[in-house]
Amino acid sequence: MRQQVPLLITFIVGSLLIVSVFIPPFGDLETTFNIWFDIIAVFAFFLGGGNLLRVHINKLRKRKRDWGFSIVTIVGFSVMLIAGLFKIGNPGDIASAVDAPGSLFYDIFNSVQYPLSATMYSLLAFFVASASYRAFRAKNREATLLLIAAFIILLGRTPFGMMLTSWVPDSTSLLQIPNLAQWIMNSPNLAGQRAIMIGIGLGVISMSLRLILGIERSYLGGDK
């Protein structure tokens, strides 16, 4: 029973959504289902928040490894939650946006989350540089081709690319590095991306059918 009910729900919802796409009178069903999904998504926020607190409070209680970071997580979560729920410092009324300019939520977001997130992402530059030195080597023909393409794209994304090849006549302008970079993006890259997308599309269709027909059951948990 614990398996049959979710399988039945998946089958009915999946089939109805397919029907709603292909048979016009059922078109509104898709909108209705999407609104239901939107309502369920709101509950997912509660579940997510609750789960985050549960995991970190447990970690803190049992003094597990790196429990200090759990304090930061819980304090950060609570401060943002309180600032948002009670709209502290919010210049508007109760209906105004939770993050209206001037509110505590807005200020914390802009002075803490914004720089922290941007910094984390920026660290990529250091790792990319280190990886390019250690791993980007012309070991064989394919790696050499990739290396040359990367060089052209890197140069093409800077003004130096144009400066270096501005002498190339217009009749052979494809050989100018920015144009060459654009060609790589427009032709070999595009062909590869399309192949990947078609593959993913076929995979999604096949997996969806397996889910709807109850062949794929791993989402239910357990061994079967």
Shortest separation between residue 29's beta carbon and other proteins, angstroms: 11
Q: Which is nearer to other proteins, 122 or 171 (CB)?
A: 122
Residue 19, token pair as written in the block? 């029907």
Nearer to other proteins among residue 4 and residue 22 (C-beta): 22
Nearer to other proteins, 34 or 58 (CB): 34
Given a contact cutoff of 8 angstroms between Cβ atoms, the answer to whether 211 and 14 are in contact is yes
- For the purposes of burial, counting CB atoms within 10 Å of the CB of 154, is it exposed (0-12), middle (13-18) or buried (19 or more)? middle
Q: Choose among 68, 79, 74, 82: nearest CA to 55.
A: 74
Nearest CB to other proteins, comparing residues 1 and 47: 47
Map tokens 């540089």 to a residue. Answer: 129
The Cα-based distances of 9 to 63, 76, 214 in angstroms read 42, 38, 10
Nearer to other proteins among residue 61 and residue 137 (C-beta): 137
Closest approach, Cβ 190 to other proteins, in A, equals 5
Binding site for other proteins (CB under 8 A): 30-31, 34-35, 37-38, 41-42, 45, 92-93, 95-97, 99-101, 105-106, 109-110, 113-118, 120-122, 125-126, 128-130, 132-134, 136-139, 147, 150-151, 154-155, 157-160, 162, 178, 182, 185-186, 189-190, 193-194, 197
Q: How far is the CB of 189 from other proteins (least distance, A)?
A: 5
Distance (Å, whole) CA 152 – CA 182: 10
Helical spans, DSSP H, in the chain: 4-22, 27-61, 67-85, 104-108, 114-135, 141-156, 159-165, 177-184, 190-212
Nearer to other proteins, 10 or 178 (CB): 178
The single residue listed with the structure tokens 């397996």 is 210
Shortest spacing between CB 219 and other proteins, in angstroms? 18
Least separation, in Å, of the C-beta of 154 and other proteins? 5
Q: At closest approach, how far in Å is the CB of 169 from other proteins?
A: 18
